[in-house]
């Protein structure tokens, strides 16, 4: 016998962080027993960015494509991670690329 969580998408650590699952088994002679499994739903953890310095210096009027820094992004649960850029001031000349090996350093 195997106890499964058959509706993974419905498990939500915010609205229902715990579940009490009672299993009752009865034999053909009418005897029965019960046991409770207490399930704690762990909240999703945010991705982690490592290896990104606070500042990088670039020369004024530099127009060559230049790799500013390699960074590592990981997810504690192994979920797929996507990244996006926002710049201040808006529209800054920056990109995120999976592989910038061919760019100047």
What sign does the dihedral 39-42-43-47 (CA atoms) show?
negative
Do the strands 18-26 and 32-40 form a parallel or antiparallel pair, or are they unpaired? antiparallel
pLDDT in tens, 47-64: 999 888 888 888 888 777
pLDDT of residue 25: 95
Residues 41 and 25: their CA atoms lie apart, in Å, by: 25
Output DSSP code: residue 66: B
pLDDT of residue 104: 44
Write out residues in the chain with pLDDT < 70, as ranges: 7-9, 99-105
What are the residue boundaries of the structural domains of the chain, listed by start? 8-40
Q: Which two tokens stand for residue 65?
A: 């494509």
Output DSSP code: residue 9: G
3-state secondary structure of 53: coil
């Amino acid at each position: 016998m195997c106890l499964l969580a058959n509706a993974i998408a419905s498990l939500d650590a915010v609205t229902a962080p715990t579940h009490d699952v009672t299993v009752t088994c009865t034999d053909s002679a009418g005897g029965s027993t019960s046991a409770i499994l207490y399930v704690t739903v762990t909240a999703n953890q945010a991705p982690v960015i490592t290896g990104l310095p606070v500042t990088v210096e670039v020369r004024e009027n530099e127009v060559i494509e230049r790799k500013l820094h390699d960074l590592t992004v990981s997810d504690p649960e192994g979920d797929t991670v996507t990244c996006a850029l926002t710049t201040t001031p808006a529209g800054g000349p920056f990109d995120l690329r999976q592989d910038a090996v061919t760019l100047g350093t």
